[in-house]
């Protein structure tokens, strides 16, 4: 898929994965490569990524995501990318916001588009049990996991219509 707008239309949150169809290591590394190239405030790159692509470890991540009875679909998802926030070194004097979460959001969008481009499906998850995740993956206690991305192959075949606000509702155009 080469057209950016096709890619944008193709990407949707997948909550129905083929449990036995695992993405390849190369595909997942391509996703990380795209995230690595994302812009960030002062080029601070305040992120790191833990790629989980094994039956045993993926089951642990799925358990952590099934926090408060949600994200049950993760049981069938073969792989995950755990997105952590790292300390940001910013140019002093030019900083009037905390940018790390914005930067991570942009990097996560890059992950999703790189996955879609390769025929993979994703679902961003912001709800998970932080401690269960840290324990399961032996992540340092002080690390902050911001998002978990489910990655795999869609078990369905049809794109859902997008439910979005209209352009007129969200845009003010001044000319």
Residues at the site binding ligand FMN, with contacts judged by CB under 6 A: 12-13, 15, 71, 123-127
How far is CA 161 from each of CA 9, 10, 12, 76, rounded to the nearest angstrom? 9, 10, 10, 23
DSSP character string of 121-162: EEEEE----HHHHHHHTT--TT-EEEEEEEEE-BSS--PPPP
Spatial separation of the C-alpha atoms in residues 24 and 108, rounded to whole Å = 19
Comparing CB distances to ligand FMN, the nearer of 87 and 126 is 126
Comparing CB distances to ligand FMN, the nearer of 93 and 126 is 126
Comparing CB distances to ligand FMN, the nearer of 94 and 160 is 160
Give the 3-state secondary structure of residue 3: coil
CA 116 to chain centre: 12
CB of 42 to ligand FMN, least distance (A): 23
CB of 104 to ligand FMN, least distance (A): 9
CB of 73 to ligand FMN, least distance (A): 7
How far is CA 103 from each of CA 51, 54, 98, 150, 155, rounded to the nearest angstrom? 19, 28, 10, 19, 31
Comparing CB distances to ligand FMN, the nearer of 16 and 24 is 16
CB of 124 to ligand FMN, least distance (A): 4
Residue given tokens 């890059």 in the structure block:
110
Whether residue 79 contacts residue 152, with contact meaning beta carbons closer than 8 Å, is answered with yes
Comparing CB distances to ligand FMN, the nearer of 13 and 48 is 13
Spatial separation of the C-alpha atoms in residues 98 and 44, rounded to whole Å = 12
CB of 100 to ligand FMN, least distance (A): 14
Q: Closest-CB residue for ligand FMN?
A: 126
């Amino acid at each position: 898929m080469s057209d950016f707008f096709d890619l944008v239309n193709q990407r949707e949150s997948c909550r129905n994965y083929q449990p036995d169809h695992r993405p390849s290591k190369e595909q997942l590394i391509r996703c990380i490569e795209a995230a690595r190239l994302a812009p960030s405030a002062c080029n601070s790159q305040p992120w790191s990524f833990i790629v989980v692509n094994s039956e045993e470890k993926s089951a642990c991540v799925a358990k952590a995501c099934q926090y408060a009875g949600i994200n049950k679909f993760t049981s069938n998802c073969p792989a995950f990318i755990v997105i952590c926030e790292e300390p940001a070194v910013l140019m002093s004097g030019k900083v009037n916001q905390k940018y790390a979460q914005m930067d991570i959001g942009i990097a996560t969008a890059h992950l999703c588009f790189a996955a879609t481009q390769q025929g993979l499906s994703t679902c961003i998850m912001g709800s998970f049990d932080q401690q269960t995740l840290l324990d399961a993956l032996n992540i340092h206690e002080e690390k902050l996991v911001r998002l978990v991305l489910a990655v795999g192959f869609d078990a369905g075949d049809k794109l859902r219509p997008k439910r979005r606000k209209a352009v007129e509702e969200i845009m003010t155009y001044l000319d």
